Structure 1
Amino acid sequence: MPPHDSILARAALGTAGAFGRACRWCARRRYELAPGAASAGLTGLSWLHHLSGVSPAEHGGYGLATAAAGALAFGGLKHKHKGIATAGASGVAVMADAWIGAGLGPSVPSLIATALTTGGAYAAYVPWLVRSRRDQLALQVKAAKAGVTAEGLGTSTLAPGLTGATREETALVQALVAMLSVPAVDVTALEYTRFGWRAVVVLPPGRDTAPQKVIARRDQLAANLGLAGKLRLAKGEKDNELVACLYESDPLGSTLAWPGPTTTSCAEPAVLGMDAFGQPVTVPLLYNHVLVGGASDNGKSSLQSVLIAYAVACEDAEVLLIDLKPGAVELGPWRSCAAGFADSPTRAMSLLKSIWAEVERRGQLLADLGRKLGKPVKKWVPAEHGPAWFVFIDELAELIRRVPPAAQLVESLLQVARFVGITLVCATQSPSNRVFGGNTDGRQQYQVRIGLGAKESTTANLIFGPGAHGDGWCLDELEGPGYFLRWDRSHPVPVVSRAFLMSDEEIGATVQRYAREDGLGGHEIQEPEDDPTPPSGGPGGGRPLPRPVLRAVPTFPDGSEIADERHAALWQAVEKAGARGITVDDLVALGLPQFAARSSVNGPLGQWRRKGWIEEAGKQGRAMAFRTVPRHAASSSQAEKADAATAGVS
């Protein structure tokens, strides 16, 4: 027979085990037992109140609470508000049960009241519990199919994945589940700013849960979120990341005044404006070509003015401007600050040639310096070698249309000019490969791309690359002039920003402050010499680098400028032939742009012959050769014709 202590030990262990199993069963069934436990607890408290004695005033309190609950139920029924009526009826049942228990104590009437209260509670609770369990199971099945891990399902048994560490995180994940029917994998970061908050959400894999799909349904997500403020969405750095930003106060809601020049060295970045997080938007211009695109009347000119103001304020930089709009209305006000200015096709081509000559000159200087130092010098440093050049081209597409040969020069400059400190800043409404003559897509050479508002979604793909609109670069959703998206190597994620606005008075004051005494602005831009001679001092010689030597703009014998670059090339070919002349077939063989057939050459030649600028030079074989008439003879001939016309009128 086992000892007495052993029997007691086994009994204690059995009792503890049974109690533990009962507790675990209650824990597993806690949601099913909740209404019964609440009703039993309330009845027990009312019995304790009975044992301690209930005064008439306390009976009055029970009655008053029951009457108030009845009035609430009556009001809900009268106004057909189901929620208020249900709450009032529940209150009547609970207060009546408590009042009976406190008044009669442990008795049959009290037990009947408790049973009725518990039954009514389960009548309303069981349908909700069944529906919640069904939704829970469906959500878990969808999450499993989507590959969501257990950690991503959250800690709430009834609402997996729908709770977060903060109110904003909970609202966000609940809004995503309501829209996608699948919980987010995780919210990796949620940070508060002075304008609102920003969260990075890891979405489950799937075609319908990709960030692009969520961005396209932004309005629906904002409605599901139910929080005051403005919601902005963008694709994160990873393929399945979504950046959600809610702005309770919009930092870009009002016009941003230009603060003035922020630096005197082009080695420091330019400050364009402010982003949606209230941070300054900086753009490193040195060694980075810039493409500015967007529809008209969306702020390209204002943004260019901010960049030009930055460049002219830099002591180690010079600006060159090309604007072919009539009157050069966009870049013309900055003429006196520019080292070179072009407002016609011929001047533009001449300026581009002078820039290319400077590229070759600087490249040779770096090579000579490398041989002198015994090590290669691969980059032009403005502080050591001479000023950087920033070439601003307004409406690049118009330049290429009016001056087709400029396409090859622009393409070459984009490819090789960076290392010698020459940067192109091009603005256009049509940033396609056609802008570069249709040969290559020069957009690949722009290390900084800025997109302003556009009416069509395809514009974003033209500026930022194929598929950009689906990745969140939505220029058609920008709110007005001055708003833009910026891309560079350090900022691969779209963030809405707004540029500073320079008033006309600020532009005038800046131009007056930084006007050049020796600038070429306002003077004729001329073609560079074929072989400009490098300065003897070389880079780092302690004095500024001289600009290329220039010569006169091509003109006709009457002194008028040859505005059409194609006609200028044809005229120079005839003039270069000298007294011997050149035939039409030989001109066609030169392969000049737009002059690939005899008919295209005969037109200009016939006009010039009628004006007395070209004459026959005799036959070469069976074809007639043509040469230019000496300028003094052509001028005399025109004067004689004018005198004859005057005499005829008299």
Structure 2
Amino acid sequence: MASTSGTVGSAVCRWCSRLRFELAPAAATFGLTGLSWLHHATGFGWAEHAMYGVATAATGALTTGGLKFRNRGATAIGIGGTAMALNTWIGAAMGPSVPSLIAGGAVTIASYGVYVPWLVKARHERIALQIKAAKNGTLPEGLGVNVGQPGVTGDSEEETALRRALVALGVPAQDVSRIVFTDTGWHAAVTLPPGRNTSAEAVIARRRQLEANLDLPGKLRLAVGAQANQLIVRMQTFDQLAEPVAWPGPAVTSAEQPIPIGVYPDGSQILLDLMSGHVLVAGGTNMGKSGAVNVIIGNLAACSDAEILGIDMKPGALELGPWQRNMLALADDADGARQLLVRLKAEMIRRGKYLATLRGPKGERVRKWTREHGKYLVLIIDELAELLRQAPDVVAELLTLMQVSRAMGIRIIAATQSPSEQAFGGKGTDARQQYGTRIGLPVNEPTPINMIFGTGAYGMGWRLDWLDLPGKVMVSSERYNEPNEGRCYWINDDQITSTSLQFARYEVAEPPTDPAEPDPDPDPEPDRPTPPPPPSGGGLASGRPLLRAVPTFPDGSRIPENRTAVWEALQKAGPDGLTKPEMVAAGLAGHGTSLQGPLSQWVAKGWVDDTGKRGQAKVYVFSAPAHTPADTSPTAEKENSACPASR
């Protein structure tokens, strides 16, 4: 109850403070009336009547003199004084009564009849003068500094400070929406006057001066509002993103799902819609670009409907190399990048021709690739500018892919720390329009900001130079069309390794133990294996081939050689089963052709059970019935039709 009363009282006080100039006549009238009632309670005699009479006569004489000599000031003071004296005289003589209330009300109404026109005129003249000065340029010295004037107030300390700071800046606010307070600070929308130097962009360019004028705790953030003359003001008093936010692990199983890459101060996730188009990741050196790319790859690795391809222009693929076991292809130099792009372009053409043969339920042509047609292909390019510097001839293939490949289920995620005209195709070509999502990390200059988000972005609030920590980010996409500061997840090397192993698809050759010091002596030729002696009663001497039992699945079909090791390992593991990381760590034959394919087939046929888990990884347990392969060895009496016995 006490808390509610305190809240109501605080709100009433703020309201009275904001409207103190409008409430001044009423406050004066009722204050004097109350004092007159107090005077009546303490005793009122003929002496007091005489005193009030003299005061009334004096103010009346002042009114008469003002009218006689046409002095508006003296006349106004005389009329106001006479009304106040009469009101106070009646209240002191009669105390709290109906006549006293009538007198007080009449005086209040009359005072407002004179006061309101004066107040409105004074405010309009002052605002017009400030707007005119702002349009003409810098304010004259001293103008706008003394802001303790009627109208330069708000219903809170923050709004008052904001209004006064804008006046001191030479941009008086026409209107300020009610300030909204949150756990991290407050924000408001300000309507600015029209003029050359009073636009939202002009105020944003002078943010530091406005922040100094405000003199409030926190970090000031500005952006252009819905209207051209609307300024969004955000003051952040508590930074919830000051500490790194740990990556929680893969959160999607399909590339068609929005990928969470970070969080906003309110706790909501920053979502990347890969289906909306290609992605650009750009920022300064050591500002979190690689971390953002790794978070994206970590989620894509868990997507069964996506294949990842990579181009890493650092020798040895230092950035994307840890994900090699999850990638269909990885190039680490210009030649490899050329080959990969050519292959990807050929696949794009093949997919386009395939889509041309498809028809919908009503006979309409299919124009968009979905997971039903096959896996999505996601090309990750780390350091786009370096790729185009080392291999400028790939621009044509890359631009063709960016402009055409979306319909064929191909997406490109390009990362660069040098956003420039060359990085986006060179002079006469601007590939930025093909990036449906643009992820900006901290930079220090306005030029890269406009290169990332488009011309004029710097003035519209996309201020990457305001991001004060690595990993802080602004995202522009169909989902996010206004600048908002967030922070990307932080992924460490252990998470990269464990996630890569958990969702491994391809075999990675182990590097040599000491590649810097190769053995000067060439390796000797391996000895040719000696064929085993044929068993008695058969073999090459009798003209029959040496055959062995062929391993088969429970349905009688033959087990391919590259699947045999995995099948036998699952049989030997028994009820404990194996996870994919354990299979990869054991170096099983056949895992280089992707474990996901055969395991999914065996689960679908009921030969392997995948309902269990060990940690976060699925456990695959052999559940097929016992099966003995048929003996396909020929007998001594029966010849092999492919190799007849010699006679």
TM-score range, shorter chain: 0.5 to 0.7
Choose which of 150, 153, 173 in structure 2 pairs with 1:183: 173
Choose which of 239, 249, 262 in structure 2 pairs with 1:250: 239
Q: Is the 8 A contact 1:341 1:521 kept in 2?
A: no
Give the SS at the match of 1:339.
strand
After TM superposition, the score normalised by the length of structure 1 is 0.57
Q: Is the 8 A contact 1:340 1:520 kept in 2?
A: no
- Report the alpha carbon displacement of residue 174 of structure 1 after superposing the two structures with TM: 4.1
Q: Describe the superposition over 1:409-445 as per-residue Cα deviations: whole angstroms up to 9, x where unpaired.
A: 1111110011111000001123333222434111111
Give the SS at the match of 1:370.
coil
Choose which of 20, 42, 55 in structure 2 pairs with 1:49: 42
Give the SS at the match of 1:500.
strand
Q: Is the 8 A contact 2:131 2:170 kept in 1?
A: no
Change in Cα spacing, 1:370 to 1:134, as seen in structure 2 (3 Å) is: closer
Instruction: Verify: 1:454 aligned to 2:437, yes or no.
Output: no
Q: Indicate the residue corresponding to 1:640 in structure 2.
A: none
Q: Indicate the residue corresponding to 2:52 in structure 1.
A: none
Q: Which runs of 5+ in 2 are unaligned?
A: 1-20, 46-91, 94-117, 135-147, 512-647
Change in Cα spacing, 1:37 to 1:350, as seen in structure 2 (3 Å) is: closer
Q: Is the 8 A contact 2:420 2:448 kept in 1?
A: no
CA distance in 2, matches of 1:133, 1:502: 60
Instruction: Verify: 1:210 aligned to 2:199, yes or no.
Output: yes
Q: Describe the superposition over 1:129-170 as per-residue Cα deviations: whole angstroms up to 9, x where unpaired.
A: xx99997354342478699xxxxxxxxx97336334x55445
Q: Which runs of 5+ in 1 are unaligned?
A: 1-27, 53-104, 107-130, 148-156, 523-650
- Report the alpha carbon displacement of residue 311 of structure 1 after superposing the two structures with TM: 1.0
Q: Indicate the residue corresponding to 2:347 in structure 1.
A: 358
Change in Cα spacing, 1:373 to 1:40, as seen in structure 2 (3 Å) is: closer
CA distance in 2, matches of 1:374, 1:33: 78
Q: Is the 8 A contact 2:327 2:506 kept in 1?
A: no
Q: Is the 8 A contact 1:196 1:248 kept in 2?
A: yes
Instruction: Verify: 1:141 aligned to 2:128, yes or no.
Output: yes
After TM superposition, the score normalised by the length of structure 2 is 0.57
- Report the alpha carbon displacement of residue 51 of structure 1 after superposing the two structures with TM: 6.3
Choose which of 260, 268, 272 in structure 2 pairs with 1:279: 268
Structure 1 counterpart of 2:383, one-letter code: E
Q: Indicate the residue corresponding to 1:291 in structure 2.
A: 280
CA distance in 2, matches of 1:169, 1:319: 51
- Report the alpha carbon displacement of residue 490 of structure 1 after superposing the two structures with TM: 2.8
Change in Cα spacing, 1:181 to 1:286, as seen in structure 2 (3 Å) is: closer
Q: Is the 8 A contact 1:266 1:317 kept in 2?
A: yes
Q: Which has the higher helix share?
A: 1
Q: Describe the superposition over 1:232-256 as per-residue Cα deviations: whole angstroms up to 9, x where unpaired.
A: 2122233222222222321211111
- Report the alpha carbon displacement of residue 396 of structure 1 after superposing the two structures with TM: 0.8
Q: Indicate the residue corresponding to 1:527 in structure 2.
A: none
Instruction: Verify: 1:412 aligned to 2:400, yes or no.
Output: yes
Change in Cα spacing, 1:520 to 1:282, as seen in structure 2 (3 Å) is: farther
Choose which of 375, 385, 389 in structure 1 pairs with 2:373: 385
- The 5 A counterparts of 1:76-155 are 136-142=123-129
Structure 2 counterpart of 1:496, one-letter code: E
Structure 1 vs Structure 2: percent identity of aligned residues?
40
Structure 1 counterpart of 2:154, one-letter code: T
Instruction: Verify: 1:198 aligned to 2:187, yes or no.
Output: yes
Q: Describe the superposition over 1:176-208 as per-residue Cα deviations: whole angstroms up to 9, x where unpaired.
A: 334335223342x64443323332222222222
Q: Indicate the residue corresponding to 1:598 in structure 2.
A: none
Choose which of 486, 495, 499 in structure 1 pairs with 2:488: 499
Q: Indicate the residue corresponding to 2:569 in structure 1.
A: none
- Report the alpha carbon displacement of residue 36 of structure 1 after superposing the two structures with TM: 9.4
Structure 1 counterpart of 2:41, one-letter code: L
CA distance in 1, matches of 2:121, 2:391: 70
Change in Cα spacing, 1:146 to 1:237, as seen in structure 2 (3 Å) is: farther
CA distance in 1, matches of 2:330, 2:383: 15
Moved more, 219-228 or 474-483: 219-228
CA distance in 2, matches of 1:315, 1:232: 41
Structure 2 counterpart of 1:213, one-letter code: A
Q: Is the 8 A contact 1:318 1:389 kept in 2?
A: yes
Change in Cα spacing, 1:33 to 1:236, as seen in structure 2 (3 Å) is: closer
CA-based RMSD = 3.5
Choose which of 236, 243, 255 in structure 1 pairs with 2:225: 236
CA distance in 2, matches of 1:30, 1:248: 33
Change in Cα spacing, 1:337 to 1:261, as seen in structure 2 (3 Å) is: same
Change in Cα spacing, 1:317 to 1:521, as seen in structure 2 (3 Å) is: farther
For these two proteins, the number of residue pairs brought into alignment is 409
Structure 2 counterpart of 1:176, one-letter code: L
CA distance in 2, matches of 1:274, 1:359: 34
CA distance in 2, matches of 1:405, 1:507: 33
Change in Cα spacing, 1:340 to 1:461, as seen in structure 2 (3 Å) is: same
Q: Indicate the residue corresponding to 2:585 in structure 1.
A: none
Give the SS at the match of 1:494.
coil
Change in Cα spacing, 1:46 to 1:310, as seen in structure 2 (3 Å) is: same
Choose which of 460, 468, 477 in structure 1 pairs with 2:466: 477
Change in Cα spacing, 1:343 to 1:29, as seen in structure 2 (3 Å) is: closer
CA distance in 1, matches of 2:23, 2:120: 14
Instruction: Verify: 1:510 aligned to 2:503, yes or no.
Output: no
CA distance in 1, matches of 2:496, 2:205: 40
Change in Cα spacing, 1:425 to 1:36, as seen in structure 2 (3 Å) is: closer
Q: Is the 8 A contact 1:177 1:184 kept in 2?
A: no
Change in Cα spacing, 1:454 to 1:444, as seen in structure 2 (3 Å) is: same
Structure 2 counterpart of 1:417, one-letter code: S
Q: Indicate the residue corresponding to 1:400 in structure 2.
A: 388
CA distance in 2, matches of 1:385, 1:520: 32
Instruction: Verify: 1:306 aligned to 2:265, yes or no.
Output: no
Give the SS at the match of 1:462.
helix
